Chains A and B, each alone.
Chain A
Amino acid sequence: MIELTPDLLGAVTKPARYTGGEWNAVHKDAATVACRFALSMPDVYEVGMSNLGLKILYEVLNRRADTAAERVYAPWPDMEKAMREKGLPLYSLESFSAIGDFDFLGFSLQYEMCYTNVLNMLDLAGLPVWSAARGEDAPFIVGGGPCVYNVEPVADFFDLFVIGEGEAVLGELVDAFIAWKNEGRPGGRQGFLLRAAALEGIYVPSLYEPRYDEAGRFKSLTPLHPAARPVIYKRLLADFDDAPAMTAPVVPYIGIVHDRIMLELFRGCSRGCRFCQAGIAYRPVRERSLPRLLELARQMAAATGYDEMSLTSLSSADYSCLEPLVDTLMADFAAARMSFSLPSLRVDSFSIELADKLQQIRKSGLTFAPEAGTQRLRDVINKGVTEADLMAAVGAAFRRGWKAVKLYFMMGLPTETDEDIIGIADLAKKVVDLYTEIKGKRGVKVTVSVSCFVPKPYTPFQWFPQNTLAEFDRKQRLLKEHIRDRAIQYNYHDARVSRLEGVMARGDRRLAAVLYEAWRAGAKFDGWSDQFREEYWLSAFEKCGVDPAVYNERTRDFDEPLPWSHTSPGVETGFLRREWDKAMAASLTADCRRGDCTGCGVCQRLGVRVVDGRRQDG
C-alpha cells in the first residue's frame, strides 16, 4: 500500500485528486477477488472522473464478486514530480495499490493528444512502455474508447484493445482471464493474449505485422497467427434499454468537469454530419425507454445526492420521448430542487422552448453548432441547418431573455473557400443585428469559436488532406479581419495541436517511435494548452525521420490501403465513398433514425437495428 505523507500532499495543487475515499467508491479486499482491473483515463482526475464510459465500466465490473475495479488518473506534473522524487509508483485510488500489481490496466482513449500521458503513466507505474518489453507479471494494458478506430500509432504500447462498447466485452475478457489464471496460466502472457484475440471485439496488435511498399506507403497489416482476425468489428449493446447501467456513480469531493448526474438517453446519432466520427462509431441509434430512464434517474439521485442532472447523448434533443421525460423528471424532482440540462441543443425553436422550460443558465448563454459559415458548405458536411433555422432559434432565445450565444464552427473543411470563412463573420453579425432588432437595443454577446478541422478515420472525409498550418493561420487572420462588431468575441484553436491530432488520427505504427521520443523529451498533457510544447514533437519527428505531412496533408487515393481498416465500427467503405461524392455535390443525406435506411451497413454487418420510440416499424 502506497503511503502519502503530509509533506507531499500539502505541497501539490488540489491534493484531493489523489486521496480517494469518495462516496460510492468500491473497496474490495484484493485477496477475495480473482481479477483486479485498474480503470484509467490518461488525464487529470477532474477530466477522468467525468468520463461516462469509465463510470459505467467501474460499476459493471464491480458488480462481479470475483473482480475489483479501481480508478487511477494522470497525476498533474507537480504531483508526478513529487512522486518520482519519493520513488512512489502510480497507484489506485481505492486500495492505494501499485498499478503494477493489477491484472489489467485499462485506458479510455478519448482523444489523440492524451497518448504521451499513457506512456508517462506506464512509466510512473514502473512498467516498460513497449508491450514487447513487459514481463510475465505485468498487468495487461488495455485500450478502449473512440481512438480505437485508428489505434495504430499506440498499438505497440498496448497488449490489447476493446473495439466498441466496453460493457459488451469486458465481462468476457475477465472470464477468459480468470479461466486462464485458474488453469495455471497456460502459455504464459502470450497464451492469454491468444485467448483474448479469439473473443469478438478484441484486437491484439502484437498478432499483426504492418507492411509498407518501397515508396514507404502503408500496404497491409498482416495477421501473424490463425487467432488474429483480419477485421475486428466493434461490439455493442443491441438492447441498450436492458443493458447493465450506471446507478451509483462515484461522487467526488472536488469539482470535476461534469459534476452532475449523467442520464444517458440513447446511444448513437445518425444525423450523418460528414466530418463526425462519433456519428459513425456509435451507430445505430438505440434509445432507452421512458420508464427505464425514470428509474435510473431516481436511483442515481438517491445514490449520489447531486442537485443537477444532465440529459446526456450525442444529440439529446432527438430523443423520441423528450417532452414527457422532461415533464416527468421536473415534477418528480421539484421538491428536491433538481436542475436539469440538455448538453446538446438542436438549432431549432423546440430546443429553445425546452431550454427555457429547464431554465438553463442564461448568463453563460446557449450554444449552437452551425459548423460552417455558408449554406453551401453546411450542405457539403450534411449539417442540416439553414440560416433561417439558426435565426429562428437564436431569435426565440433572445425573446425569452437570453443575452449570450455561443456559435461553434470549423475551418479547413473540404471545398472551403474564403467566402465560407467570411460567411462565419457574416452569420455572427446577423445574430448580433437580430438581437438589436428584437430588443430595440444592443447588449448581446456572441462568442464565435472556431476549431481546426481534423479529418478522422471512418468518416466520408477520411481521404481528405488537412489544411496546412499556414493555411489555418491565414484563415484565422482572415476571419479576424472580418469580425468588426465589438459584441462578437472570437476564439480559435491552436492549429499546431490540431495538426498533431491530424497526424495521429490517421497515422500508422511508425508514429510510435515519434510518440516515444516526444514523451522522452518531456511531452505530456499535450491537450492542455499551458502544457503543450510543440518543440518536443518537432524534434521527435526529425529524429525519427518521419514527415508528419505525409499523414495529415496528403490526399489519399480512394483505393489505397488504410492503416485503420482492421478495427471497424461496421460501416461499409462504399457508403463513406458515396457520402464523399454527395459532399462534393453538396447533396444531403437524411437521418435514418426515423426514416429509411441510407445504407451505411452497420446494422446489417452487426446484426442490430435502430431503436427509436417514434419509428414506424419500431
Chain B
Amino acid sequence: MAEMKLSFLYRAAVTKGEELRYISHLDYAGAIQRAIRRAGLPAAYSEGFNPHLKISFASALAVGVTSDIEYFDLELAEPLPPLTVAKRLKATLPPGINLLELRQLRKRKGTLMAEADEAGYTVDIPLTGPAEAARAAVAAFNAAPECVFHRATPKKTRDIEVKQYMAEAIALETGGETARLTMRIRITPTGSIKPGEVLSLLVDRYGFPGDERNAGLCRRALTGQGKSLLELDD
C-alpha cells in the first residue's frame, strides 16, 4: 500500500496582467509552477515516473484575456505559515502575476474548478459607429430569448445556446471613442461561453459597431455562490 503523506493546502489569488495577455492558460500555470520552485517552497509532488507539482486552477483563461483575479490551490509537504509562503512567492512571481492573497485551507474541499460558478468580465472596445447603435445592439442581445453561437475548433464544431450562460444583462458604458461592456457569465458543469464569443455575436449578429480585433478583455471576478473563492472556506 502506498504510504500516506501529509500535505498542506493553500489557496492563492493572483492576477494575470497586461504583460501576460498573450500567454495561454497552460503557460501561465507553468510560469506559476516555476515561480513556486524558485521560491524554494517545499511543494508536494505527485507520485510516479513523471512527478509534477500538486497545483490546480479554477477556470482556464483564454489567450488574449487578462485577469484581475485568478485562483489556484497549492499543496506543500510542510506546514509553512501562509505569510511566509506569500512572502517567498511574491519575490519570485514574474511581472504581471501579482499575489493578491494567500490562505491556508483548513480542510480539503472540492476542486476549485467545481467551486467557481460565475465569472465577471469587462470588454473595452474602440467604437466604429455611433453610441446609439452600440446601445441598440446590446439591448437587442439582452432582449433575445435565445442566441446560438457556432463554435468551430479544428476538431469539431458545436452550436451553443448562449443566453443560458448570461447571469445578467450585459451593461454598456460609452465614453467618446470607446465602449465598455460588462458581463457576468455562468460556469456550469456542462459548459460555459467565452466573453470573446459573446463579443463576436454582438458584432456579427447584432451589429455592434466595435473594432473587435482591438478589444481588451479582462476577467474582473470569479465567484462561487456569489462569494469570492477565498471566502468559501469559512
**9-residue interface stretch from A97-105, A185-193, A298-306:** A298-306
B residues near A23, Cβ cutoff 8 Å = 31, 34-35, 38, 94
Given A6-B216, A15-B22, A22-B94: A305 in contact with B36 (beta carbons within 8 A):
yes
> B214 to A6, Cβ gap below 8 A?
yes
> B215 to A6, Cβ gap below 8 A?
yes
Given A19-B19, A23-B94: A305 in contact with B33 (beta carbons within 8 A):
yes
Given A10-B213, A305-B33, A359-B49: A19 in contact with B22 (beta carbons within 8 A):
yes
Q: How far is the CB of A598 from chain B (nearest CB, A)?
A: 44
Given A5-B214, A7-B213, A23-B94: A302 in contact with B38 (beta carbons within 8 A):
yes
Q: How far is the CB of A145 from chain B (nearest CB, A)?
A: 29
B residues near A2, Cβ cutoff 8 Å = none
Cα-based distance from A16 to B26 in the complex (angstroms):
13
Given A21-B95, A21-B96, A302-B40: A9 in contact with B34 (beta carbons within 8 A):
no
> A303 to B19, Cβ gap below 8 A?
no
The count of A-to-B residue pairs whose CB atoms sit within 8 angstroms is 68
- Which of A5, A21, A359 has most B Cβ within 10 Å? A21
B residues near A5, Cβ cutoff 8 Å = 214
A528 contacts B by Cβ under 8 Å = no
B residues near A9, Cβ cutoff 8 Å = 21-22, 64
Given A7-B213, A253-B27: A21 in contact with B35 (beta carbons within 8 A):
no
> B38 to A303, Cβ gap below 8 A?
yes
Q: How far is the CB of A439 from chain B (nearest CB, A)?
A: 21
Cα-based distance from A15 to B62 in the complex (angstroms):
13
A251 contacts B by Cβ under 8 Å = yes
**CB under 8 Å from chain B, chain A span 1-41:** 5-7, 9-11, 15-16, 19, 21-23
Cα-based distance from A253 to B23 in the complex (angstroms):
7
Q: How far is the CB of B36 from chain A (nearest CB, A)?
A: 7
Please pick, from A6, A305, A306, the residue contacting B213 in the complex, using a CB distance under 8 A: A6
> B95 to A305, Cβ gap below 8 A?
no
B109 contacts A by Cβ under 8 Å = no
Given A23-B34, A251-B34, A253-B23: A337 in contact with B51 (beta carbons within 8 A):
yes
A209 contacts B by Cβ under 8 Å = no
Given A21-B19, A21-B96: A16 in contact with B37 (beta carbons within 8 A):
no
Q: How far is the CB of A329 from chain B (nearest CB, A)?
A: 16
Task: Fill in one digit per residue for B58-88: 1 if any A CB lies within 8 Å of its CB, else 0.
Answer: 0000011000000000000000000000000
Cα-based distance from A189 to B104 in the complex (angstroms):
62
Q: From A18, which residue of chain B is reached at the shortest CB distance?
A: B22
Q: From A21, which residue of chain B is reached at the shortest CB distance?
A: B19
> A305 to B215, Cβ gap below 8 A?
no
A residues near B27, Cβ cutoff 8 Å = 16, 253-255
A243 contacts B by Cβ under 8 Å = no
B101 contacts A by Cβ under 8 Å = no
Given A21-B96, A305-B92: A336 in contact with B22 (beta carbons within 8 A):
no
> A10 to B64, Cβ gap below 8 A?
yes
A581 contacts B by Cβ under 8 Å = no
Task: Fill in one digit per residue for A325-337: 1 if any B CB lies within 8 Å of its CB, else 0.
Answer: 0000000000111
Cα-based distance from A231 to B28 in the complex (angstroms):
50
Q: How far is the CB of B34 from chain A (nearest CB, A)?
A: 3
Q: How far is the CB of B28 from chain A (nearest CB, A)?
A: 8
A307 contacts B by Cβ under 8 Å = yes
Cα-based distance from A94 to B10 in the complex (angstroms):
34
Number of interface residues of B (CB under 8 A): 32
- Which of B37, B63, B64, B95 has most A Cβ within 10 Å? B37
B residues near A305, Cβ cutoff 8 Å = 33-38, 92
Q: From B38, which residue of chain A is reached at the shortest CB distance?
A: A305
Classify the interface of chain A: helix, strand, loop or mixed: loop
Q: How far is the CB of A162 from chain B (nearest CB, A)?
A: 32
> A6 to B64, Cβ gap below 8 A?
yes
Q: From A339, which residue of chain B is reached at the shortest CB distance?
A: B50
Cα-based distance from A103 to B63 in the complex (angstroms):
35
Cα-based distance from A578 to B40 in the complex (angstroms):
55
B residues near A21, Cβ cutoff 8 Å = 19-20, 94-96
Given A7-B214, A10-B64, A337-B45: A16 in contact with B38 (beta carbons within 8 A):
no
Task: Fill in one digit per residue for A538-561: 1 if any B CB lies within 8 Å of its CB, else 0.
Answer: 000000000000000000000000
B residues near A336, Cβ cutoff 8 Å = 37
B211 contacts A by Cβ under 8 Å = yes
Task: Fill in one digit per residue for B3-43: 1 if any A CB lies within 8 Å of its CB, else 0.
Answer: 00000000000000001111110011011011111101010
Given A5-B214, A254-B27: A304 in contact with B38 (beta carbons within 8 A):
yes
Q: From A359, which residue of chain B is reached at the shortest CB distance?
A: B49
Q: How far is the CB of B217 from chain A (nearest CB, A)?
A: 9
Cα-based distance from A335 to B49 in the complex (angstroms):
14
- Which of A9, A10, A304 has most B Cβ within 10 Å? A10
Q: How far is the CB of A14 from chain B (nearest CB, A)?
A: 8
Q: From A24, which residue of chain B is reached at the shortest CB distance?
A: B94
B residues near A10, Cβ cutoff 8 Å = 64, 213
Task: Fill in one digit per residue for A64-86: 1 if any B CB lies within 8 Å of its CB, else 0.
Answer: 00000000000000000000000
Q: How far is the CB of B128 from chain A (nearest CB, A)?
A: 12
Q: From A338, which residue of chain B is reached at the shortest CB distance?
A: B37
Given A21-B94, A21-B96, A305-B92: A253 in contact with B20 (beta carbons within 8 A):
yes
Q: From B17, which residue of chain A is reached at the shortest CB distance?
A: A21
A residues near B63, Cβ cutoff 8 Å = 15
Q: How far is the CB of A243 from chain B (nearest CB, A)?
A: 25
Q: How far is the CB of B97 from chain A (nearest CB, A)?
A: 10
Cα-based distance from A279 to B18 in the complex (angstroms):
46
B residues near A302, Cβ cutoff 8 Å = 38, 40
A residues near B36, Cβ cutoff 8 Å = 305
Q: How far is the CB of A400 from chain B (nearest CB, A)?
A: 14
> B94 to A307, Cβ gap below 8 A?
no
17 A–B contacts, CB within 8 A, in A order: A5-B214, A9-B21, A9-B64, A10-B64, A11-B213, A16-B24, A19-B22, A21-B19, A21-B94, A21-B95, A23-B31, A253-B20, A253-B28, A253-B30, A254-B23, A254-B27, A305-B92
The 10 lowest CB-CB distance pairs between A and B, nearest first, are A305-B34, A7-B213, A15-B22, A305-B37, A305-B38, A21-B19, A337-B51, A23-B94, A253-B27, A253-B23
**New A-B pairs, 14, CB < 8 Å, besides A6-B216, A305-B92:** A6-B21, A7-B211, A9-B21, A16-B23, A16-B27, A21-B95, A253-B20, A301-B37, A304-B38, A305-B36, A306-B37, A336-B37, A337-B45, A359-B49
